Amino acid sequence: MSRGTNCPNCGAPVEFRWSGAVQAACPFCKSVLIRSDLDLKTVGKVADLPPDPSPIQLLTEGVYKGNKFQVTGRLVYQWEQGGWNEWHIVMADGQSGWLSDAQLEYAVSFLAGGSQLPTEEQISRGKRLRYQNTDFEVSTLTVAIYKGFEGELPFPYYEKSDMLFADLRTSGPAFGTIDYSENPPLLFVGEWVEFEDLQLKNLRQFEGWK
């Protein structure tokens, strides 16, 4: 459901396509806008994002486990060996999730709760964790740089810098990520997926594509 308002910085119309959106960017002056109840405030400016080779874009639609979803936002990270996107997706039932897109690998995950997570000082490669009857192992620790966002997000996310992510692997498609950009850290759990299985529509078109 779309909800319109005006940018408090430049007065331009701003439309929230997703009713649960908390953060968005003004398409005219690039202000970072935070929504609280009926108030809208400016907290900064959107950074210019690095070039992106992903075919996914805002308003791309897809299917996960029989449920349709739409891409409403994106977080962009870079690290010493490249970068990746975290696409915010909204399922048809309103549930909020994430579609990770890195070096032609794709995964869908959702915020998980009810688990006491190790601190940054306690986390290490090879450490084993158990969540909802699934055994995970910390496969990589990545220090990433937050490069910016676009679209709509389910929480305020700005003025970030270097942050740590712990990737959790299993023997199957299940995976997890511990996000240490927040305190306490956040756990996201999901699974690796094949690009074709997502049945994506409204993709970016590149020169030479048919």
Average pLDDT over residues 134-154: 93
Q: Which domains does the chain have, with CATH numbers?
A: 3-45 (2.20.28), 61-197 (no CATH)
Q: What percentage of the chain carries pLDDT values higher than 70? A: 94
State the pLDDT at residue 39.
78
Query: What confidence tier does 97 reach under pLDDT thresholds 50, 70, 90?
Result: very high
Model pLDDT, residue 15: 82
3-state secondary structure the chain: CCEEEECCCCCCEEEECCCCCCEEECCCCCEEEEEECCEEEEEEECCCCCCCCCCCCCCCEEEECCEEEEEEEEEEEEECCEEEEEEEEEECCCCEEEEEEECCEEEEEEEECCCCCCCCCCCCCCCEEEECCEEEEEEEEEEEEEEEEEECECCCCCCCCEEEEEEEECCCCEEEEEECCCCCCEEEEEEEECHHHHCCECCCCCCCCC
Q: pLDDT tens digit string along 12-27? A: 888 888 888 899 988 8
Average pLDDT of the chain to the nearest whole number? 89
Q: Is the pLDDT of residue 206 over 90?
A: no
Write down the pLDDT at residue 3. 65
The predicted model gives 190-205 an average pLDDT of: 95
pLDDT band at 1 (very low <50, low <70, confident <90, very high): very low
